[in-house]
Amino acid sequence: MRPHLFLTGDIQIGKSTLLRRVLDALGPVRLGGFRTVTAADIPGAVGSVYLVPAAQARPGFSPDCRVAIRWGPGRGAECFPEVFDRRGTELLADAAQAQLIVMDEIGFLEASAPRFSARVSALLDGETPILGVVRKQGETPLQQYIRSHPRVRLVEVTEENRDELAETLPLFHL
Q: What is the structure's pLDDT at 170?
A: 63
Q: What is the structure's pLDDT at 127?
A: 92
Please give the Cα distance from 51 to 38 (Å, whole number).
9
DSSP, collapsed to helix, strand or coil, labels residue 123 as helix
Q: What is the structure's pLDDT at 172?
A: 58
Q: What is the structure's pLDDT at 72?
A: 83
CA distances from 13 to 6, 10, 26, 117, 133 (A): 14, 6, 22, 25, 12
Show the domain range for 9. 4-173
Structural domains of the chain, count? 1
- Which secondary structure element, helix H or strand E, spans residue 23, and what is its range? helix 15-26
Q: What is the pLDDT along the chain (174 residues), one digit of tens a residue?
A: 778 999 999 888 888 888 888 888 888 889 999 999 999 999 999 999 999 999 887 777 888 999 999 998 888 889 999 999 999 999 999 998 999 999 999 999 999 999 999 999 999 999 999 999 999 888 899 999 999 999 999 999 998 988 888 878 765 555
**Residues 23, 102 contacting (CB under 8 angstroms):** yes
Please give the Cα distance from 90 to 26 (Å, whole number).
25
* CATH code (residue 19): 3.40.50.300
